């Protein structure tokens, strides 16, 4: 939590010193349209994430099992961990720096820089630095997502949608399907069997592209009709 407070302070100073703007330009004030975007974004990302995880067991002799040791306290703890990590990452990658990049270079370049930085950041958070194959895969996966999240911030002029998309994916992936640093949470796989060949590739491509594509389409078709540049 201290990290979030520090980055909020840093963001406020950076915005004022660089562009004479206040932190309000990050669109933090709750408005009806932003709340709607948050709910829809959360549901979209959560649904895609659940679909991906279910696909990983749908075509093999494997399934998801309920963790009998999972408690309400564990759920609350996991949700709080996801919330803190997402807020920190969004303020860092989709906050003041992206706002200033957009002012200077325009939305496409700014979002490309933000997405690339997000991809590089995950080399270290996933511990893959030094393994070229893993680095390329992680950069592609998280870089595309980072671009989509950045685009959603630039187009809505608010952090509500990127935060919702990010939380929706991370909460379902980490807390529900136990894919992440928290270990076994709500559900776990019955065994280690997984799809292979073309089927495995198709599921991987779904994981890489479904989230950012759907997020971008939502921004274009729905949010774009509400907020114009």
Q: Where are the alpha helices (DSSP H) in 94-196?
A: 96-105, 107-125, 132-156, 160-170
Within 10 angstroms of residue 26's Cβ, the number of other Cβ atoms is: 24
DSSP state of 220: I
Tokens of 73: 């306290």
User: How many domains is the chain partitioned into structurally?
Assistant: 1
Three-state SS for 115-129 is HHHHHHHHHHHCCCC
Host domain of residue 136: 2-226
Model confidence pLDDT, tens digit, residues 122-158 = 998 888 888 899 899 899 889 999 999 999 999 999 9
Which pLDDT value is given to residue 112?
A: 96
What mean pLDDT comes out for the span 17-43?
93
Name the pLDDT band for 93 (thresholds 50, 70, 90): very high
Whole-model pTM? 0.91
Q: What does the alpha-carbon distance between residue 197 and residue 31 come to, in Å, rounded to a whole number? A: 47
3-state secondary structure (DSSP) of residue 174: helix
pLDDT 10s digits, 101-115: 999 999 999 999 999
Which whole number is the average pLDDT over 70-96?
95
pLDDT at 11 exceeding the cut of 70: yes
What is residue 224's predicted lDDT score, i.e. its pLDDT? Answer: 60
Question: Does residue 229 register a pLDDT over 60?
Answer: no
Residue 212: count of CB within 10 angstroms of its CB? 22
State the chain's mean pLDDT as an integer.
92
């Amino acid at each position: 939590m201290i990290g979030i407070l520090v980055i909020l302070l840093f963001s406020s100073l950076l915005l004022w010193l660089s562009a004479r703007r206040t932190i309000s330009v990050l669109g933090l004030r709750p408005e009806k349209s932003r709340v709607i975007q948050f709910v829809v974004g959360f549901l979209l990302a959560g649904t895609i994430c659940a679909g991906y995880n279910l696909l990983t067991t749908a075509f093999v002799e494997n399934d998801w099992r309920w963790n009998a040791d999972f408690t309400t306290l564990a759920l609350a703890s996991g949700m709080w961990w996801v919330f803190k990590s997402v807020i920190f990452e969004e303020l860092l990658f989709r906050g003041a720096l992206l706002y200033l990049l957009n002012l200077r270079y325009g939305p496409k370049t700014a979002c490309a820089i933000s997405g690339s930085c997000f991809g590089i950041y995950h080399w270290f958070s996933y511990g893959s630095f030094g393994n070229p194959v893993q680095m390329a895969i992680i950069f592609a996966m998280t870089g595309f997502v980072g671009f989509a999240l950045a685009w959603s911030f630039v187009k809505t002029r608010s952090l509500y949608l990127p935060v919702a998309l990010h939380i929706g994916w991370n909460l379902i992936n980490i807390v529900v399907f136990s894919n992440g640093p928290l270990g076994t949470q709500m559900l776990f796989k019955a065994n280690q069997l997984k799809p292979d060949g073309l089927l495995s590739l198709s599921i991987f491509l779904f994981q890489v592209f479904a989230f950012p594509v759907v997020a971008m389409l939502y921004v274009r078709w729905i949010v774009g009709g509400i907020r114009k540049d």
